[in-house]
Amino acid sequence: MAFREWKTFASAGFGAALLGGLVGSAFADNALKLTELSPNGADACFGRVYDAAHLKARPKQKVTRIFFYYGRDPVSRPNEEPNANSDTSYNGFLTTTVRGAKAPEWAGGWCNHESEDGKSGPIRCGMDCDRTLASLKVDGKGRLILSDLSSDIYLDAGSEEELGAAEYDRQALGKEDDNFRLDPMPAATCKAEFARIDPIDPALGPPLRERLKPDQAFCYGRDYDAAHMSSHPEQLTQSIRVFRGPVELASFASGGDAANWPDGADIAVSVTTRQKGAKVTQTYSCQGEADQWRCAASSKTSNYSCDIAQKEIFLKRGANGAITLANPNSSLAIVDLCSTAADGKTMSDDKVYRLEPMPQSACAS
């Protein structure tokens, strides 16, 4: 798996978390005031699936399925972010599927009345950078009228110039993708639709923050045989271990907060290379982000003068009890973390490791 894929996913998850963090107080203050959308305070769902006849009559409409959900985040699922950081506020979430697409796209924002008192007038759902997600109103039959939907709702600012007109038009919504009339539906219907965005792989099992407890030692690793090393001449790593032992457990016990696990969790990474043949160990301090642990090199076991906090690795759960470690920016202790060779992108094959559980003795110093 390339670093681009890891980073893209991390950014998406981080963006959603940042959205909640930035406007969480606004959600909390205004969420239950939108009684038009949620008269009884429960999560609300509106949606529509267009049939072939409708789409044939409207060739400029790309959207075939559209759902709007007003409530607690239906996109994020139990992942690596601490439970203490979960957002329980009410937000607005939109998901659409266009012609030929296999999965939906989605966007989220905060919804308020556009009046000075915030209690009356049209409802506008805003996004970061002063963008509009949509304008909303409910008709006399309880249907949601969704308008002011921008064609570039899923694209970054400046995308038209960056992509060019033809590619922009291909990725943007169609000219008739606005003024949707959505029927009220059970909340479970919207949740099922949002679940189509990034289906859970059951082989991955529970998140690492559930699988690995704050007071639990663990050891994962891999030893590469001669055949593997011969077929990967650019790989330096002969043996690798990722673990939490007595030192790391004691560190969290003395200063960590179990409610925010895995934030603040220390892990150690030991690497033996074909060049040096000696084991090099570096400690990393981790935090949960989206579906992975993002771990920065720690000064606890180092005396480096450079900013080693910029040296990062990522841990993700893998199938059948394994974990995957990504080292996209030469963050592993293969070389001196402050040396010139450690700057920039990893040039060798030492980027992604698929590690199996091992007995704790295999990670002993």
> Is residue 100 domain-shared with residue 192, that is, in the same domain?
yes
On the question of pLDDT at 21 being above 80, the answer is: no
Distance from C-alpha of 69 to C-alpha of 199, rounded to nearest angstrom: 18
Q: How far apart are CA 144 and CA 251, in angstroms?
A: 52
Residues 194 and 219 in one domain: no
pLDDT, tens digit, for every residue of 182-238?
999 999 999 999 999 988 788 888 899 999 999 999 999 999 999 999 998 888 889
Least confident of 19-33, 180-194, 260-274, 342-356: 19-33
Work out the mean pLDDT of the chain and round it to a whole number.
Answer: 82
Do 231 and 300 belong to one domain?
Answer: yes
107 and 164 part of one domain:
yes
Q: What is the pLDDT of residue 7?
A: 37
Q: Are residues 172 and 295 in the same domain?
A: no
Length of the chain in terms of residues written: 365
For residues 135 and 61, membership in a common domain is answered with yes
Per-residue pLDDT band for 308 (boundaries 50, 70, 90) equals low
Over range 303-316, report the average pLDDT.
69
pLDDT over 60 (residue 178): yes
Whether residues 187 and 213 share a domain: the answer is: no
Q: What is the CATH number of the domain that holds 331?
A: 2.40.128
Domain check: are 274 and 351 in the same one? yes
Burial (Cβ within 10 Å: 0-12, 13-18, ≥19) of residue 202: exposed
pLDDT band at 295; cut points 50, 70, 90: very high
**How many beta carbons lie within 10 A of that of residue 146, not counting itself?**
23
75-127 residue pLDDT tens: 877 689 887 766 666 789 999 999 999 999 999 989 988 876 666 778 999 98
Give this prediction's pTM: 0.64
Distance between CA atoms of residues 269 and 247, nearest Å: 13
Q: What pLDDT, on a 0 to 100 scale, did the predictor assign at position 217?
A: 96
Q: Are residues 81 and 224 in the same domain?
A: no
Q: Which of 200, 222, 257 is the last residue of a domain?
A: 200
The yes-or-no verdict on residue 307 having pLDDT over 60 is: no
Q: What was the pLDDT predicted at 35? A: 85
Which of 42-46, 268-272, 278-282 shows the lowest mean pLDDT across its residues? 278-282
Domain boundary pick from 166, 200, 234: 200
Tokens found for residue 242: 């990722």
**Count of structural domains, the chain:** 2
CB distance 109 to 135 below 8 Å: no
The span from the CA of 279 to the CA of 268, in Å, is 12
pLDDT value at position 300? 60
Query: Helix or strand or coil: residue 122?
Result: coil
Q: What percent of the chain has pLDDT over 70?
A: 79
User: Are 140 and 240 members of one domain?
Assistant: no
Domain that residue 44 falls in: 3-200
> pLDDT tens digits for 26-85?
433 444 458 888 888 889 999 999 999 999 999 999 999 999 999 888 887 768 988 776
Percent of the chain with pLDDT over 90: 47
Are 223 and 110 in the same domain?
no
Give the side-chain half-sphere CA count within 13 A for 13.
21
Is 219 found in the same domain as 190?
Answer: no
Query: Domain ends where: 146, 177, 200?
Result: 200
- pLDDT mean over 156-174: 86
Determine the Cα angle at 220 with ends 216 and 221, to 5°. Answer: 160
- Burial 314-343, CB ≥16 within 10 A → b, else e: bbbbbeeebbbbbbbbbbbbbbebbeeebe
Q: In 3-state terms, what secondary structure has residue 56?
A: helix
